[in-house]
């Protein structure tokens, strides 16, 4: 075990482990098949366990485990974690449907669900996917990596850098399997994807740091995946223009939507830092500055 590693060194050893495991999983696609995605989502959490229990002695202390942000619910970040993806993804697909580039249909998951039960159904889907998928990723990216990058580089650099590293981590599955972003031209999709994920990653990162909890980031990640999947299955089109370049996970419309949210976060953060009295009036704790 290494006892004197800096936060930056820990961050990049973690990333080397996570990327190496992801590359290994992607190379095992002929064996694992479609289960590659499910296994890949666990590699950040596995890398965290290796850092805490093998590489460093941090896992021997309560502070080491508490640094992951699991011990707090971060309830004041939950509403934003759900509503922001709903607004951005919903707006992107609404524009596509209204423009006539694609047609809307009721998603298969909702055909047997009463309208009155839709909110309950969505809450159940988000909760289920948060615990079975997104948590595995977020323990690594926002639970372990982001706080250490922040300690070493400061918030302004740590937030976009963590988003970029998160995006690069996906590349083995994009290039080595047909399971992720298989439609369209990779020369267009990959730069778009990295840009979107870098910008979008600022939001769960901000929620993580401002609440000292990883759970808002987990919920955001899950809500993004769930709302995108539902909107995608509600869209009738055979064009990669819609499914990848415009409203896809790497789409231009999502890029603009999340960029606007990040600008709003920067403005709100600066306002709160410059007006301590405003924090007391709205009853919140001081938040991170960007």
Any alpha helices (H) in 212-274, and if so which ranges? 215-233, 240, 252-274
Helix, strand or coil, per DSSP, at residue 265:
helix
Mean pLDDT of the region 19-35: 96
Which pLDDT belongs to residue 153? 95
For residue 11, tell me if it sits in a domain.
yes
Mean pLDDT of the region 240-264: 90
Mean pLDDT of the region 182-204: 92
pLDDT of 286 strictly over 60: no
What's the pLDDT tens digit per position in 201-236? 999 999 999 999 999 999 999 999 988 988 988 888
Which pLDDT belongs to residue 117? 64
For residue 289, tell me if it sits in a domain.
no
pLDDT of 279 strictly over 60: no
Which pLDDT belongs to residue 281? 38
pLDDT of 284 strictly over 50: no
User: Which comes out higher in pLDDT, residue 179 or 123?
Assistant: 179
Helix, strand or coil, per DSSP, at residue 257:
helix
Which pLDDT belongs to residue 290? 64
User: Which comes out higher in pLDDT, residue 250 or 19?
Assistant: 19
Which pLDDT belongs to residue 249? 84
pLDDT of 29 strictly over 50: yes
Mean pLDDT of the region 100-129: 74
Q: List Cβ neighbours of 207 (8 Å cut-off, separation of 6 or more).
A: 74, 77, 80, 81, 216, 217, 220
For residue 2, tell me if it sits in a domain.
no
pLDDT of 276 strictly over 70: no
Helix, strand or coil, per DSSP, at residue 76:
helix
For residue 84, tell me if it sits in a domain.
yes
What is the rounded distance in angstroms from the CA atom of residue 4 to the CA atom of residue 275?
Answer: 39
Predicted TM-score (pTM) of the model is: 0.89
Q: How many domains does the chain have?
A: 1
Which pLDDT belongs to residue 250? 83
For residue 1, tell me if it sits in a domain.
no
Domain ranges, residue 186: 7-282
Of 7-16, 120-129, 170-179, 207-216, where does mean pLDDT reach its minimum? Answer: 120-129
Which pLDDT belongs to residue 124? 67
């Amino acid at each position: 075990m290494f006892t004197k590693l800096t936060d930056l060194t820990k961050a990049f050893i973690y990333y080397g482990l996570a990327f190496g495991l992801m590359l290994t999983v992607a190379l095992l696609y002929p064996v694992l098949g479609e289960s590659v995605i499910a296994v890949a989502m666990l590699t950040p959490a596995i890398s965290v366990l290796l850092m805490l229990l093998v590489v460093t002695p941090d896992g021997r202390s309560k502070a080491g485990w508490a640094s992951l942000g699991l011990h707090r619910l971060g309830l004041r970040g939950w509403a934003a974690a759900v509503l922001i993806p709903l607004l951005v993804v919903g707006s992107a697909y609404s524009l596509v449907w209204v423009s006539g580039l694609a047609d809307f249909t009721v998603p298969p998951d909702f055909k047997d669900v009463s309208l009155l039960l839709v909110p309950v159904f969505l809450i159940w889907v988000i909760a289920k996917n948060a615990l079975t998928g997104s948590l595995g990723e977020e323990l690594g990216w926002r639970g372990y990596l982001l706080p250490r990058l922040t300690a070493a580089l400061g918030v302004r650099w740590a937030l976009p850098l963590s988003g970029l590293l998160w995006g690069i981590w996906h590349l083995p599955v994009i290039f080595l399997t047909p399971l992720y972003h298989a439609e369209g031209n990779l020369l267009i999709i990959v730069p778009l994807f990295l840009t979107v994920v870098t910008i979008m990653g600022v939001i769960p990162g901000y929620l993580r740091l401002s609440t000292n909890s990883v759970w808002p980031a987990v919920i955001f990640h899950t809500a993004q995946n769930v709302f995108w999947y539902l909107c995608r299955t509600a869209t009738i089109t055979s064009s990669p223009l819609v499914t990848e370049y415009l409203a896809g996970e790497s789409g231009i419309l999502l890029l603009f939507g999340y960029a606007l949210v990040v600008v709003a976060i920067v403005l709100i953060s600066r306002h709160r830092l410059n007006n301590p009295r405003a924090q007391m009036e709205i009853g919140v704790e001081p938040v991170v500055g960007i």
